[in-house]
Amino acid sequence: MTSSNPATVYRLDYTASSFLADRIDLVFDLAPSVTQVRATTELHRNPDSENRDIVLYGEELELVRIAMNGKVLAKPDYATDNGELRIPDAPDKVTLVIDTLLHPDQNTSLMGLYLSNGNFFTQCEAEGFRKITYFPDRPDVMATYTVTLRADREKYPVLLSNGNLVEEGDLPNGRHYAKWEDPFKKPSYLFALVAGNLVCREETFRLADGRDVLLQVWVEKNNLDKTAHAMESLKHSIRWDERRFGLELDLDRFMIVAVSDFNMGAMENKGLNIFNTRYVLANPRIATDLDYANIESVVGHEYFHNWTGNRVTCRDWFQLSLKEGLTVFRDQEFSADRTGSESGRAVKRIEDVRTLRQLQFPEDAGPMAHPVRPDSYQEINNFYTVTVYEKGAEVVRMYQTLLGRDGFRKGMDLYFKRHDGQAVTCTDFLAAMADANGRDLSQFERWYSQAGTPRVKLQSHYDEKNRTLTLILSQSCPQTPGQTEKQPFLIPVAIGLLDSHGKDMPLRMEGDKAAPNSRTLELSEESQTFTFIDVAEKPVVSALRNFSAPVILEYEQSDDELLHLLSHDSDHFNRWEAGQRLALRRLLSLTKAVQADRTLTLDSAFIDAFRAVLTDTALDPALRELALTLPGEMMIAEKTDEIDPAATHRARQFMRRTLAENLEKEWLNAWQENRTEGAYRPTPQDAGKRALKNLALSYLLLLDKPAYGRMAIDQYHTADNMSDRLAALTSLVHSGWTDKLPEAKALPDHFYREYENEALVIDKWFSLQATSPNADTATVRKLMKHPAFTLKNPNRARSLIFGFCHNNMAQFHAADGSGYTFWSENLIELDRINPQVAARLARCMDQWKRYIPSLRKPAEQALRNVSEQSLSRDTREIIGKTLSA
């Protein structure tokens, strides 16, 4: 912990490492209280560096011995200062032998080597390897690794590391060893080891080239029955990457290991992926449809990193989106392809854009706004953000939109041909895309260097006499921290036109031979005009189809035009978007009415539009569920000048209740007609039906009719899957029926007793209570005293503390400031345990300066109370930027 401001690292200050590593041999003698590590590293001088000093990094290490080329070193042969070990004026070739001692049982940060449920695990991205040994721990230093693990055989029968197992055997005193070799050079952040009492599901899998490989999913014994879906997801991922990008698994085996204490979702360590149990364990009893989908997506994401991140990695951490944005795009495409239908692809696209808008757009407008390729950081852990990941994926998607699917594949092929085995930059990826397609993409690089969400304004004019449609597109981008002036982006804007019958119209420009029904315009200047000819009638414009760029579209359309798009647009995304715009328009009006203490009303035209979607059985149930889900409270707040959480919450609740009252019959029909028959299947089709059914149930429970409460209770007791059971319980708790019906009151306790040995389900139990509109800080504080709660487990902390602070907007922003006090107290305590998780909790207050005045003062006081503490680098950077924005 530190009270001083950490140093800022700048991208433009990058210099190559003075020495490069050729190979490293690691030997671990594993024990919980004291683990001994011997690292033997062969290095050579980097010809691109003028520095003759060896610079190694280490944190929280007990250095026992260091020798260079056989000579034991003592100060002043080397110096240690602020996490660096420096050996001055070293020879051109060096073999270093370094002995360190670690204390895994004291490591609550979950970075480096730590214990979870008595087993050893590592997490080295971004800079965790320096908690294991002194090493040039930076992504552009790549070496081959040999790893020997020694441990007590009875306590730790399984010993795993990267690559291939080459040797194992017994040692004296009941100990044993395993030796692993990774034939591929990698940076230290991809190193991993696992040692413990684990079991595995394994299969032999034949690759496209005819090789047989071993696939393993390692878990604690009581979880083995929950690994089938993860294994199937891994096989689907391997096959998809072979077919879509021609990329094959390059090792003899591929391992997934599940751990319950983990800061992130998963980690792509070469050949040994370590996962949060949340993204591995599933069966119908404990996992929802969303859990099943997330497991497949995350398994795919980490497997795809084998090429986009491991075989080709980042030169420095500023290039993080080179691997993460690209791999998020790949996992999005994988998940979309796995749906097996165009409507399924649209559902996936809508879900991804909702995430972008709810999380990334606010980040772009807040104190932590940064480019996809940041220019500076104080703590790299703070830049594992939705901008780097989700906006980075949108940047990659725009390559495919601009170049076409085949052109994108050509660019990928050239990228791997040029850079396999290298640590490179985002500019190298852009160059591969440009060169493979013969295009000048120099302007496109601004997507990497400029922060903020661009705004695209569209104006349209139809000339009935000449049958032309003129579109004027203009762009701008708001100021962001450190960037006051922005240059025009290259923005792909996909356009369609609908006639009065809702049919797509041909789009022809002067000189065109073909007239497609949809085309992508390239906006590269501040303002451009595009004219379409032979337009038979005044069309309704369908703009930014499939969300072709991560921008805010400003285009005034009447309710009638939006209703036309909602009813007829062939682009499923824009059909959904029209409904969201209609709803948001009314929600903003209702929010103002709440603030002005006016009577709240909802027009019949909007209710009828909702009814039409709800009863349109030709539309995929999953699409209907998305179309009928109102914009979230944060989405509404982002569109207001000042954020008034209480008013926003009341406006949205009024709209939901009004829709429940006016569409009661239709909601009931939807609940009845979308029940699934037979054994549970987590298919997109069945999951979509369950989603629509359970949305209908949540609306019905807003009505003061005990029959619906009992209907939900019956669903809870008879459900054969967690999706239906959890949805019933959540709706009962959130709508207050657990206080109204005696039969419902006991259900939260019943749920807990039923699943008290299933940690992931208990996370859901904490979360559903923390996010209830009825849960104030007193409720959450009481839950924190429950025997099952601990701040030390990230999943548990996220389920309750984050659930309340991030996802219970009205209660967190209580007028008395109690939510902010709760946040500050828990942030300070969590920072002492796990700075990385604490820094994410700190982000709750990004928008505090936009709160209404009565909330701004207690919010600022809470922030200042935190800032006066001795904080980690991670949290201090967030709090400092939030206060000074």
- Catalytic positions, written as ranges: 302
Query: Half-sphere exposure of residue 720, counting CA atoms within 13 Å on the CB side?
Result: 8
How far, in Å, CA of 885 to CA of 368, rounded?
9
| Residues forming beta bridges with residue 164, ordered by sequence position | 181
Query: Half-sphere exposure of residue 470, counting CA atoms within 13 Å on the CB side?
Result: 8
Instruction: Please say whether the beta carbons of 794 and 261 come within 8 A.
Output: yes
Angle at 298 (CA atoms; ends 405, 798), nearest 5 degrees: 135
> φ and ψ at 705, to 5 degrees?
-125, 105
Task: Kindly tell me the sign of the dihedral angle through the C-alpha atoms of 444, 448, 450, 456.
Answer: positive
How far, in Å, CA of 586 to CA of 522, rounded?
32
- DSSP E strands in 260-320: the ranges are 266-267, 272-276, 313-314
Q: What is the pairing mode between strands 84-87 and 54-57?
A: antiparallel
How far, in Å, CA of 877 to CA of 382, rounded?
8
Instruction: Please say whether the beta carbons of 39 and 101 come within 8 A.
Output: no
Instruction: Please say whether the beta carbons of 344 and 684 come within 8 A.
Output: yes
| Residues forming beta bridges with residue 139, ordered by sequence position | none
Instruction: Please say whether the beta carbons of 42 and 22 come within 8 A.
Output: yes
Nearest Cα residue to 508 out of 500, 499, 517: 517
HEC string for 196-261: ECCEEEEEEEECCCCCEEEEEEEECHHHHHHCHHHHHHHHHHHHHHHHHHCCCCCCCEEEEEEECC
Instruction: Please say whether the beta carbons of 315 and 423 come within 8 A.
Output: yes
C-alpha pair distances (Å), 244 with each of 235, 322, 398, 526, 754? 14, 19, 18, 36, 43
Sequence-distant (6+) residues with CB within 8 A of 618 are: none
Token couple for 755: 């699943």
Token couple for 672: 């009845």
C-alpha pair distances (Å), 303 with each of 139, 271, 420, 656, 833? 19, 9, 17, 41, 30
Residue 27 parent element (H or E): strand 19-29
Sequence-distant (6+) residues with CB within 8 A of 569 are: 496, 498, 502, 542, 575, 578
How far, in Å, CA of 24 to CA of 519, rounded?
53
Residue 38, judged by CB atoms within 10 A of its CB (0-12, 13-18, 19+), counts as: middle
Nearest Cα residue to 298 out of 354, 258, 246: 258
Task: Work out the number of other CB atoms within 10 angstroms of the CB of residue 700.
Answer: 23
